[in-house]
Structures are given as structure tokens and as C-alpha cells.
Chains A and B, each alone.
Chain A
Amino acid sequence: MNLEDMMELPGALAAFTFSDKGDLQSHVLREGTEMTPQVLDLLARSCVANMAIAGMEARGWEAVTGQGGFQPLQGFSVVGLEWSVVVNGNRGVVVRNRDADYEAAFNAVQAA
């Protein structure tokens, strides 16, 4: 799903792609949103970090508990006060909380 399609998600404020290191590569912002490219750039870096941490935790949890079902990870989301960011791989989408459809957002970032 491309960025324009991701912007069709309920409450989408921004969609973006980033490198493996977290450099913002491309983005689309909803007109009128207070989100800025600078915030998206920082957000992309935190997304890479959070996915790496979640991957480590999932691997460790499965090894220690014997409980499977986490790997491979399908994404990570941070739920802020007004919006949530949903990421997987090298793409992410920011959605307004009151309109958020988390499952649709995770499915959207899933599609290569």
C-alpha cells in the first residue's frame, strides 16, 4: 500500500517511510495537521528503535516461556494523547485516536 492509500485510513494524519536506520525517506501530511516533517523524522527513529526492542522482547519471551505466536512481529504502535503511530518494516502511519482502526492500520503497514 502506498502512502496515498495509507492516508485513506480512518483518521490518518500522516504516512511515511523510513530507512533501516530511521531516516525519514518520504512522507505525506494531512493538510492542517500540526504534525511536521521534523516530528516525523524523530518519530521514524523512535519507530525503528521500538521495533528492534519489541523484536528482542518477543524473541526472549518465546525462548523463556515456550509460548509462541509473536514472531515474526507484525508491527508496533504508540498510542499518544491525541494520535497513534502504527509502524512495521519501513513504513508508518499516524492516525487520530478517536477515529483509529488499529487493525486496518496494522494491515496497511503490513502490505509491501
Chain B
Amino acid sequence: MRIVKQLMVIPGVIAAGEYAYRGDRFSYEGALTDEFARMASILCRANTLSVNMQAEILDSFSESCGCRPVQGWIVRGAQVSVCSVGNYFALIENRDELLNDVMTIMRAKVGDVEDDLLVNLYARLGGDTKEALY
């Protein structure tokens, strides 16, 4: 929760949270209800799983694609955006330079996401979760 607290002191950050890659728990701070934070955690985990699957496909077409493992993703809305890095997410207002600042801070604090992310994301699928999907 240390990273979440650091994000929440930034003006313009509406809410921030952390979820387990396995999908069995979440925590958050900010302007969300427990149920909306749970929904946001499920949504973020699903998107993270999806973009990692896509990166695995891209990676199979190129010797060193440079995309894998995926570090995060951003949805840019009209007035608000969602930033996700690793298993952390932040809901932010679209203020000048805030997106760049939040992404810089999240990348620095979360650190490089390693390949074990996929092992945990796929854990519920059963079988050999260390085996590549392609």
C-alpha cells in the first residue's frame, strides 16, 4: 500500500489501488466504494491479462520484440484516465503533465515487471503455467 499512498498525495489522483495477480484480493484508497474498487480491480486484471496475451503473440513474430513482459497500460478518457502498472492502478484527472508524472512514478516505484507476472495471472488455468501459450 506504500505506492498507493504515494500516488494519493499527488493532486489530481482520484483513486489508486493494488490487486493480486491471482485475482483473490485487492486494496485501494480514494474516491471509490468497496464494490467499485472490486470492479476496477477485476477490470484491470482482465486488461493486464489481455495485453500480456497479445504481447506473447507479438513476441512470437519477432526475435526481440521489446514488448514483453508488458509493464502496464493506459486508458485515456475525455476527462479522466486509468493508468495500470504491474498490479497497481490509478484513476486520475486529465491535468497537464499529470499522466506523465503518474506513469513515471508508477514505473519507478513498481519497478520492471518480470515474467513471473504471467505465471500468477495464468495460475487459475491449471496445467503448466510456466509454459508459453504459443
Contacts and interface: CB of A to CB of B under 8 A. Distances in A.
Interface of A: 34-36, 38-39, 42-43, 46, 49-50, 53-54, 57-58, 61, 64-65, 67-83, 86, 88, 97, 100-103, 106
B70 A73 contact: no
Contacts of A97: 71, 107
Nearest to B102: A102
Given A76-B75, A76-B76, A53 B47 contact: yes
Contact of A76 (B64, B74, B78, B96): B74
A70 B39 contact: no
Given A42-B58, A82-B67, A70 B78 contact: yes
The 8 closest A-B pairs by CB, nearest first: A80-B67, A70-B77, A82-B66, A69-B79, A69-B80, A74-B76, A77-B74, A75-B76
Nearest to B69: A81
Nearest to A106: B76
A107 to B, nearest CB: 10
Interface stretch (B2-10, B21-29, B48-56, B124-132): B48-56
A35 to B, nearest CB: 8
Q: What range describes how many residues of B lie at the interface?
A: 35 or more
Interface of B: 36, 39, 43, 47, 50-51, 54-55, 57-58, 61-80, 85, 94, 96-97, 99-100, 103, 107, 112
Given A73-B76, A76-B75, A76-B76, A81 B66 contact: yes
Contact of B100 (A50, A67, A103): A103
B62 A77 contact: no
A78 B67 contact: yes
Contact of B68 (A34, A35, A80, A101): A80
B130 to A, nearest CB: 19
B73 A76 contact: yes
Contacts of B76: 73-77, 88, 106
B99 A78 contact: no
B73 A79 contact: yes
Nearest to B97: A103
